[in-house]
A and B are shown apart, each in its own frame.
Chain A
Amino acid sequence: MSLGSYTFYRNPETCTYPQQRKMASVIETLGGGAYFSWGCVLPGQILELYWPGMETTMFEELITLFEADAQVVFDPDVGLSTTYNVEILSLLGDFLAPYSGAAAYKKNVKMELVIMSEVT
């Protein structure tokens, strides 16, 4: 799994599956109802990636991507051949002070990506 030029050192524990979402509505009428379907769309879907913990170096890689504030390519690498142009909406993680001599790391890291388009 990779984001931009960075291949995750650790894959997230959970990741929203990228798929199209349906935009539809049902309205009740006095004699029944009507259904309106606007079809399925991919752009706008928000992907949530969650890591229970990660090394600080990996978090800093993600921070660099996040702060660059540019559209990047997300490769879920979960059996899909498709990659996606995404924007990074948020990146949050808790700081965990290391024991003396131990490597610092982050826990409960959450990142939200919004799919802009499929890479053609």
Chain B
Amino acid sequence: MSITLDATLKAAQDGINHRPIIEIVSSAMGDLLPAIGNYFNSQTATESEPHIISLSTGRLAVIMERAGALKYLYTPTDRSEWIEVAVTTPYALTSMDPCICELSDGNIGIVFVTSQRYLYYKIITPTGTIVTDYTQIYDAGSGNWIANPNVITLANDTYLLVYPEGTGTPPDLAETYSLKQRTSGDFTSWSAASDITPAAFSANNYCNNPYLYQVTSGRIFLFTDYLDDYTNDTELNNIYYMTSDDNGATWSAATKVTDYTAPGFSATHPTVSEKQNGDLSFMYAERSLVKSLDESMTGYPLGCFSPEGNFEFDDFNCFNYDPDTGELHIGHDNQAFTTINAATWEWKKTVSSTTIPAIRNLGICAESYTDWSVSTVTGTNDKVIQAYNHTTDEHKIYRFNSDGIVDAKSYIVDTICDYISQILVVEHDGIQKLFILHGGNERVNMGWIDLNEVIDPITGLYTYHELWDRPYPSLNITRGTLHHAAMKWDYTHDYLMTYTGPQSFTAAHPGICVWDENGTVILELSNNNHEQFPVNGARDAIYIGDDLYFSVIYDASQPDKVGLGHWRAVDGTIIFHQPTWTSDLDCNLMQFEDMGDGRILMVSNQTIDGGVVIYNTLTDSWTVYNNDTMPGFGRSDTQWEGGAKYDPITKTIFVARENEIIAFSEYGPYSVLLNTDITNIDTTIDFGEYITFSYYSFEYHPTIVYDSDNVLWGVWQHMDLSSEYSAKWINLIGDMDLTDDLVDGITIQWDVEKITQLTFTLARGHLFDAQNLMSALSPYMRKGRKIVVKLGERVGESDYLQDQGEYIITAVAMEYTTDQYPTAKVTAEDLRVLWEDTEVIATMYYESETPYNVLENVLLEHGSMEADELDIPATWENQHDLYHQFVDMNLDDIVKELLDHFGYFPFVNVSGDFEPRYIDLEKAADHTYSDTTQLVKYTPNDKYSTFINRVIVKGISHTYFEVLYEEEAITSKSGTTGWWGKKEDDTVWYSEDHNRTCRYPRLEVIQSVKEFGKFIRFAGTKGEYISDVDEDEQYCIVTIEAPNMVPTLIACIGAALLTYTFCKGSCDGGPWKPGWCSACNYAVIIELNIIIYILTGIASYAYNIWARPIGHEKRTFQAQADDEEFQNELGGKIVPVSIDDPMCYTIVSAQTVADHELSVVMAQRRRLQFEKTSHLMDEIGDIAEFVHPYSGETLKVFVSNLKRIWKIGGECIDQTEGWRIMS
């Protein structure tokens, strides 16, 4: 293959005179924005109000407040690290709201506030030495308020200071507020304050956080936020700006920048910095109480939500939160599953009937806290269930056997189902279980299936673990309850709960039933068995501890039973917790969710003062979130029945309602940083489209600045989830050039059997130490960063660089010692290093797919690869369709197994794309070295080769073949019959579950009804015989036929009667008269004996059924390839190796694999090593041709290993291993 180099570079590489150059760059793997940011330290003290400026020397300077004190941080001129200096401030006063500017003499001017009353300045050197200690500028007076000053150095070397001031702490519409300005020529003496409050601002509405910036033209911008509205204790702030073209002597009217009008939203803390092109970068903090999403979210499928005001219960068929991934999985009725990243509040993906992979339209969905979403399938009378795994993209179909749809390999075991009532996904005992409540007209059935079970390939069945099957009525919680109950799992006790309210078409006793994991009833609550229980049952229920809480469905006959019912485990009594926040008797409490700390999250739907509700079982207290209790919440008290979830880590409450999904946090309002450009700053001043600058949702008080290299730096206040406030910094250096810090050089090692590895060492190791938070360079060498390497030559005045790959940092090792300057030893590997840690539970089953399709699907679905990162050959050598599923393997092994089969090796090319390559030992030379000019060392060395001279490849067909096993006894039967006769068809199933199939049934009679007696035999009995065989070969019918002796018996009785009558008195003569003659006696005795014989006759029968079981097995076969020449050399000794290759479906395929493997084994016996001056067109997988240094013979070598060593100040060498090709 070899790389096609630039012609000039190739000419230089072909020569012996080299001017090597290296470029090595650290890049981000993903997008720079939204930015996560970097901490300055790991301290827990609260940090706030950071302010950053760029100094004329190239340094950056930051001032911030930390726990009431001020800290100054600066960088060296190369901006490589942060150095912190404490700023002394007035004793015993809380210092806050600092701002800084670079003075005309290069020193740093600081202005700050203490106690919201005093305004101070201070001057220090750029490295923090005090020049002029803190000095008071202004005392606003007791009870007054000043805050957030901002100061800049003007182009004329004077200083402009602005700050807000008021007669009381804002917001307070009874006080007055203004924006003040002071000027100074030396930063030590300040003019009297002048009022520059825009005329449009109300005196009672405060403005805050002013930010000054003078652009190159001299125009000064003054941004500030202003309280546009204050209603119901809710601030509505927007950002305005003014301009001055006379150094602040006069200001323009205020222009509104943001236009928030909805309660709960605000724009605050504007900041701005000028780019090299003269545009401004503008940023502010957007505050919002509630995040919302609907179809307008980018990527969200249309048609999922009902029109406004037309809420349908099924709008959200499922609304699940996976705490492991932080993702919301939303299922819409008759639509799709959509995944939302809850942290970034962005659409992630949708699977529907039109996506790949496709799913069917959703019916009833399941509650799930796993990565499975489950639903019934519409159009199947709710008898088909689908399961979709959001992590693996696995899609499964389960159907009950009463459904008419033919859907191969998708059956739950033979369980009759008329319709599915409820489904629920639970992880229990390490198994992800799909519980199913289903039934028919006369029965209800409960059971579960293992979502990760692999279907039995023979039977095509999944296993249904039935918990119970009950006819009506089987419980007090009867018919209505079980058929229409909701289901919930209690993770504390591993209980399953069913509960229901009254049903219009069912009768008795709605309530709650609690089952253990085996389906045994633990607790049953209805008005029928517990007089304190509400007659209308329960709308929802949940266990908190051992107590059970449920939502009361109010009934006028029980006026004392309202709100939240509470069954107490300690004594079995029921009490009621009546909400204190509504006058409604029925609060419509539903969507119960255990918050994990004794609180229950729920919604109160369509009630007066309803909304999102939390009940604290520990304190018996309620918290309600609605527009009345949480000003700015912005949602009415209806349409809350879509679902509620809680993330205890971020303390976020997610609620699905009417036609949106909302999220809000117990930590308080969200605050994200938004950024845009301002163009035409001297004329029309145009604001562009805003982008989200910050990744997280609790980011405040940003300031930004462009450094002398036009790189944007920003600092802001970040709130951790532990409610700790920390300052963060960021720069938008996407690519960090490390070349100047390279020590020694770099080494890259490619190998057909290993992941490509890059190693190098960096100077200034302490700055590349990822644990050094004070370093501004450490983020560039964090594990997972991408290193892009280029090598080349300088030809004349031009640099010619050739890509040498992209690598992911796997390790940065360094050592701090007393005697050595720290260096960072960096190891990076190609993208396959991620695959080694990527466990794949199961891929989809690939049925008749090309290797291209299989590999692409595996990498896209399980490797998170993008299509443009793949350069997979469209057609492969020895290509054939694949029928395969990879189960429980890591991604790297999957790729290797697939490539091995076709004779390819995994390779990430120099552009960073995955490009599997064929081990082609027969192709023409890719690179010919015509002499030994570039050859440094040649070492034939076959010590690692083997003696293998036979390769056996065992394959297996992908289809099942029918096989007949040896005859075996299937079953035994026995029984009895009598004089009344018998003809019975006995159905003999070949297995108890009626699934087994057998052929050639044979009857072995152990004891036959034929042995009933002589008369019976005489009567011509047939005995036992196989009368029929099932066409599906699952049973046969054995007929047992014994004669009916009733006619014979009647005849005998008649004969006896006749004999008696005839003989009566027939022997009057002789000594017996009147009496019987002996002939008569004999006749009667015989007849009576026959009758007795018949009446007492019992015929027993016993038989065995033998048959040959029918099985389905895959056909195995093998092929072998022999190195006969080597076998002869070894005196006929065979050294075989056996390879199991499940992708060889035919003998031909196995032979192809065997031949190729043997050719590789043979080539490996001709292993050699050679070292030459580096040539950038060479790669592994190439055929290199060069001249034997002694014999002059031409050597053709398959390059299997290439170690490229470029030593700065030294030579550039390729150490190569290969297999000599004899052709």
Residues of chain A whose beta carbon lies under 8 Å from any beta carbon of chain B: 23-39
CA distance A37 to B1172 in the complex (A): 17
CB of A36 within 8 A of CB of B18, answer yes
Q: What range describes how many residues of B lie at the interface?
A: 20 to 34
The answer to whether B1208 and A33 touch across the interface, beta carbons within 8 angstroms, is no
Chain B positions within 8 Å of A37 at CB level: 17-19
Mask for B1175-1196, Cβ within 8 A of A = 1, else 0?
Answer: 0000000000000010000000
**Is B794 in the interface zone, CB < 8 Å from A?**
yes
> Is B936 part of the contact surface with A, judged by Cβ < 8 Å?
yes
Q: If A27-B1173, A29-B1173, A30-B1189 touch, does A36 touch B934 (CB 8 Å cutoff)?
A: no
B925 at the interface (CB under 8 A from A): no
Which chain B residues (780-812) contact chain A, with CB distance < 8 Å? 794
Q: Which of B794, B931, B1207, B1210 has the most CB of A within 10 A?
A: B1210
- Assembled-state Cα–Cα distance A28/B1211 (Å): 10
Interface membership of B128, Cβ < 8 A: no
In contact, B1208 and A29 (Cβ under 8 angstroms): no
Which listed residue, B19, B935, B1173, touches A38 by the CB 8 Å rule?
Answer: B19
Contact B1212 A36 (CB under 8 A): yes
Docked Cα-Cα span, A37 to B936, in Å, equals 18
Please report the C-alpha to C-alpha distance between residue A38 and residue B18 in the assembled complex, in whole angstroms.
8
Contact of B20 with A27 in the complex, beta carbons under 8 Å:
no
Across the interface, B17 reaches (CB within 8 A) one of A23, A29, A31, A35, namely A35
A32 and B1211 contacting across the interface, CB-CB below 8 Å:
no
> A29 to B18, Cβ gap below 8 A?
no
Name the one of A30, A31, A34, A39 contacting B1211, with C-beta atoms under 8 angstroms. A34
Question: How far apart are B938's CB and chain A's nearest CB, in angstroms?
Answer: 7
Report how far A35 CA is from B1208 CA in the complex, Å: 13
For A32, give the chain B residue with the smallest CB separation.
B933
* Residues in chain A near residue B933, CB distance under 8 A: 29, 31-32, 34
In the bound complex, residues from chain B placing their C-beta under 8 Å from that of A36 are 18-20, 1210-1212
CB distance from B1130 to the nearest CB of A (A): 35
Which residue of chain A has the shortest Cβ distance to B1172 in the bound complex?
A29
Is the CB–CB distance between B932 and A31 below 8 Å?
yes
Shortest A52–chain B CB gap in Å is 31
A30-B937, A32-B16 provided; 5 other pairs, C-beta below 8 A?
A24-B1209, A25-B1209, A29-B932, A31-B931, A36-B18
Question: Quick check: B19 and A39 within 8 Å, CB to CB?
Answer: yes
Point out the residue from B936, B1207, B1212 that lies within 8 Å of A29, measured CB to CB.
B936
B794: A residues at CB distance < 8 A: 39
Q: Which residue of B lies closest to A23 (CB)?
A: B1209
B267 to chain A: closest CB distance in Å? Answer: 43
Q: Is A27 touching B19 in the complex (CB atoms < 8 A)? A: no
How far is B18's CA from A27's CA once the two chains are assembled, in angstroms? 11
CA–CA, A27 and B1209, complex, Å: 12
- Selected from A25, A26, A29, A39, the residue in CB contact (under 8 A) with B934 is A29
Which residue of A has the minimal Cβ distance to B1212? A36
**What residue in chain B is nearest A38 (Cβ atoms)?**
B1209
Question: How far, in angstroms, from A26 to B17 measured CA to CA in the complex?
Answer: 9
Interfacial chain A residues near B1173, Cβ < 8 Å:
27, 29, 34
Query: How far does the alpha carbon of A31 sit from the alpha carbon of B21 in the complex, in Å?
Result: 25
Contact among B18, B938, B1208, B1209 with A34 in the assembled complex (CB-CB below 8 Å): B18
Within residues 211 to 242 of chain B, which ones have a CB less than 8 A from any CB in chain A?
Answer: none
Shortest B798–chain A CB gap in Å is: 14
B1173 nearest CB neighbor, chain A only? A34
CB A85 to nearest CB in B, in angstroms, measures 10
Docked pose: A29 CA to B932 CA in angstroms: 7
Q: A35 to chain B: which residues have CB within 8 Å?
A: 16-18
Q: In the assembly, what is the distance between CA of A39 and CA of B799, in Å? A: 12
**Complex Cα distance A38/B934, Å?**
19
Task: Take A23-B1208, A24-B1209, A25-B1209 as given contacts and tell me if A30 and B18 are in contact as well, using a CB distance cutoff of 8 Å.
Answer: no
Which residues of B (429-463) have their CB < 8 Å from a CB of A?
none
Q: Which 6 A-B pairs have the closest CB atoms?
A: A31-B932, A23-B1209, A31-B933, A30-B932, A27-B1211, A25-B1210
Given A36-B18, A38-B20, A39-B19; A31-B1210 close (CB under 8 Å): no
Closest Cβ neighbor of A29 among chain B residues: B936
Bound complex: CA of A32 vs CA of B936, how far in Å?
A: 9
B1211 touches A25 (CB 8 A): yes
Tell me, in angstroms, the Cα distance from A37 to B1211 when the chains sit together. Answer: 9
Assuming the contacts A35-B17, A36-B18, asked whether A28 and B1210 have C-beta atoms less than 8 A apart, the reply is no
For A37, give the chain B residue with the smallest CB separation.
B19
Give Cα distance in the complex from A25 to B20, angstroms. Answer: 11
Smallest CB separation, A35 vs chain B (Å): 5
Q: How far is the CB of A13 from chain B (nearest CB, A)?
A: 30
Q: What residues of chain A lie closer than 8 Å to B1207, measured between beta carbons?
A: 25
What residues on A are CB-neighbors of B1208 within 8 Å? 23, 38
- Supposing A23-B1208, A25-B1209, A25-B1210 touch, asked if A34 and B934 sit within 8 A by C-beta, the answer is yes
Contacts of B1212 in A (CB 8 A): 36
Given A36-B1210, A38-B1208, A31–B935 Cβ distance below 8 Å? yes
Q: Closest approach, in angstroms, between the C-beta of A69 and any C-beta of chain B?
A: 13
A105 to B20, CA, bound (A): 50
State whether A29 touches B935 (Cβ < 8 A). Answer: yes
Minimum C-beta distance from B819 to chain A (A):
15
Of chain A, the residue at the smallest CB distance from B938 is A30
CA distance A82 to B139 in the complex (A): 53
Give me 16 A-to-B residue pairs in the complex whose CB atoms sit less than 8 angstroms apart, sorted by A's number: A23-B1209, A25-B1209, A29-B16, A29-B936, A29-B1173, A30-B936, A30-B938, A31-B933, A31-B934, A34-B17, A34-B934, A35-B17, A36-B20, A37-B17, A37-B18, A38-B1209
Q: How far is the CB of A39 from chain B (nearest CB, A)?
A: 7
In Å, the complex CA distance between A23 and B16 comes to: 17
User: Which residues of B from 907 to 965 have beta carbons under 8 Å from A?
Assistant: 931-938
In the docked arrangement, what's the CA distance between A25 and B1207, Å? 10
Q: Which residue of B lies closest to A26 (CB)?
A: B1211
Bound complex: CA A70 to CA B944 (Å): 55
A37 to B1210, CA, bound (A): 8
Distance (whole angstroms) from the CB of B82 to the closest CB of chain A: 18
Chain B residues, CB < 8 A from A27: 936, 1173, 1211, 1213
Give complex CA distance A27, B1217 in Å.
20
Q: Output the least CB separation between A26 and chain B (Å).
A: 8
B18 contacts across to A, CB distance below 8 A: 34-37
B19 contacts A33, CB within 8 Å? no
Given A23-B1208, A36-B1210, A28–B19 Cβ distance below 8 Å?
no
Which residues of chain A come closer than 8 Å to B936, judged between CB atoms? Answer: 27-30
Q: What distance in Å separates the Cβ of A84 from its nearest Cβ neighbour in chain B?
A: 16
In the complex, chain A residues whose CB is within 8 Å of the CB of B1213: 27
Q: Which residues of B contact A32 (CB under 8 A)?
A: 16, 933
In the docked arrangement, what's the CA distance between A29 and B1207, Å? 17
Q: Which residues of A contact B934 (CB under 8 A)?
A: 29, 31, 34
Cβ of A29: which chain B residues have Cβ within 8 Å of it?
A: 16, 932-936, 1172-1173
Q: Restricting to B1151-1208, which residues have a CB under 8 Å from any CB of A?
A: 1172-1173, 1189, 1207-1208
State how many angstroms separate the Cβ of A1 from the closest Cβ of chain B.
25
Chain B residues contacting A38 (CB-CB under 8 Å) are 19-21, 1208-1209
Nearest to B931 among chain A residues (CB) is A31
Cα distance A31–B935 in the bound complex, in angstroms: 7
Residues of chain B within 8 A (CB-CB) of A34 are 16-18, 933-934, 1173, 1211
Q: Within 8 Å CB of A39, what residues of B? A: 19, 794
Per the bound structure, the CA–CA distance linking A30 and B933 in Å amounts to 6
Q: Which residues of A contact B16 (CB under 8 A)?
A: 29, 32-35
Cα A34 to Cα B794 with chains together (Å) = 16
Nearest B-chain residue to A24, judged by Cβ: B1209
**A residues in contact with B17, CB < 8 Å:** 34-35, 37
CA distance A68 to B938 in the complex (A): 55
A27 to B16, CA, bound (A): 10
CA distance A108 to B938 in the complex (A): 53
* Closest residue on chain A to residue B937 by CB atoms: A30
In the complex, A30 Cα to B931 Cα: how many Å? Answer: 9
Shortest A71–chain B CB gap in Å is 9
With A and B bound together, what is the CA distance between A23 and B1208 in angstroms? 8
Max chain A Cβ within 10 angstroms of own Cβ: one of B16, B931, B934, B937: B16
